Structure 1
């Protein structure tokens, strides 16, 4: 066994051990590098929720949320136009149950088109509070379109945390949008909310529909824990 004591062999063994340590370290960080689009959206939804729920600009949002049947969180709705405009983005739907609390998130997309004298671009982080059973069923049935029979209104702004004097709940859906860009406000009339069945299947399993996730609660993903916990006080 004397060959183990030669300098050359000791150096080779040291290099081998260092290589194994590096490989082990890379193995530990590989899951973060492989973040899926679905998980990225869940994480961004939590960040958006925490940003808006804690903003003085949306001081009445907690009051609306506590009265809501469900909530939709869209971390990034982008609108761009020059006379003809369009908007869209991906988000999640979560439903409250009196006994079980907030559900796991189901994936949706918002799509709309518009024609008007619009020049500029706008990106918004948006929370929709769904106040009526009619609106929730429309979302679950993939028949949600703002405007007409499904009323949407902007939630109040600028009242400060703790006001929560929510009295007027005439609309089916209220929007709380934090925007950046050249538009003065956000209008969602005419926008449609559509299920992302492919994303729900990837994240929860083949054949999974929003009904299974938010109402029946047949499926779950442990990586939603931070988002669910963020909503739990409301």
Structure 2
């Protein structure tokens, strides 16, 4: 028995060493914040586009110049309130389809008698060239010259009844929590240049991503495919 132990011990040690090295060679990789946002944007899009509650969203989307998807806009307040969240911008070209996503953030502040909190998954359909250029130029602020309106909710009447597209942007928001309605007037849309650089390369700007289409990331495939029917 002692002879057998001496004979097999080196092999057992080698097997254990190989097993440990294999386990160490394939660690679980955490998603980057950018990729996590891209994945959440796809989930939000599929949730809202397939919801009876937002039955007219497909019609607005098919007529839109671009779309912005914010998986989590959080609004909170007690006398002084604020809201914010990260999202992506995607532009449709008649020949090339939907672009890669560019990263943006929404930020706003308000003062008034407000108590409570609200989290919303929101899709903005950008209906005018003016609004799209404002987003690309980092000059988008809802209200004033750039009108935003709430998209119709609860009709569930399909994609072919969209009329009166007289606002620059329409919002479709699925909310949770307690707050007095969903209003985006006064909110600003700002580029996240640092995120775009991390995801696509140093110095890359939204114009190069969504209009010039000079860069791409293979990990956006599921999100782009989700939008492709529209």
TM over 0.5: yes
**8 Å Cα contact 1:59-1:164 kept in structure 2:** no
| Shift in Å, 1:152 | 0.2
Report the alpha carbon displacement of residue 15 of structure 1 after superposing the two structures with TM: 4.5
| Cα drift, residue 25 of structure 1 | 9.4
- Paired with 2:183 and 2:25, the residues of 1 have a C-alpha distance of 42
Q: Distance in 1 between matches of 2:141 and 2:157?
A: 31
Equivalent residues of 1:48, 1:73 under 8 A apart: yes
Change over 3 Å in CA distance of 1:190–1:97 after alignment to 2: same
Q: TM-score, normalised by structure 1?
A: 0.89
Displacement of 1:30 after TM fit? 5.2
RMSD between aligned residues: 2.6
1:17-58 CA-partner distances (Å, limit 9, x unpaired): 65x798689769957532100000000000000000000110
**5+ unaligned residues in a row in structure 1: which ranges?**
6-11
Residue range with higher mean Cα deviation, 28-37 or 108-117: 28-37
Instruction: Confirm or deny: 8 A CA contact 2:45 2:123 kept in the other structure.
Output: yes
CA distance in 2, matches of 1:175, 1:26: 49
Alpha-carbon shift at residue 175 of structure 1 (Å):
0.1
Number of residue pairs aligned between Structure 1 and Structure 2: 227
Output the CA distance in 1 between the equivalents of 2:133 and 2:204. Answer: 17
- Structure 1 residue 184: Cα displacement: 3.9
CA distance in 1, matches of 2:107, 2:13: 54
Q: Tell me by how many angstroms 1:183 deviates.
A: 1.3
Decide whether the 8 Å contact of 1:76 with 1:123 is kept in 2. yes
Kept after mapping to 1: 8 A contact 2:60/2:159: no
Give TM-score scaled by structure 2 length.
0.91
Structure 2 unaligned spans of 5+: none
Q: Note closer, same or farther for the CA distance 1:32–1:172 as it changes in structure 2 (3 Å cut).
A: farther
Change (3 A) 1:3 1:216: farther
1: CA distance between counterparts of 2:165 and 2:23? 51
Q: Structure 1's 155 and 34: CA in aligned 2 closer, same or farther, altered over 3 A? A: same
Taking the aligned partners of 2:55 and 2:21, their CA distance within structure 1 comes to: 44
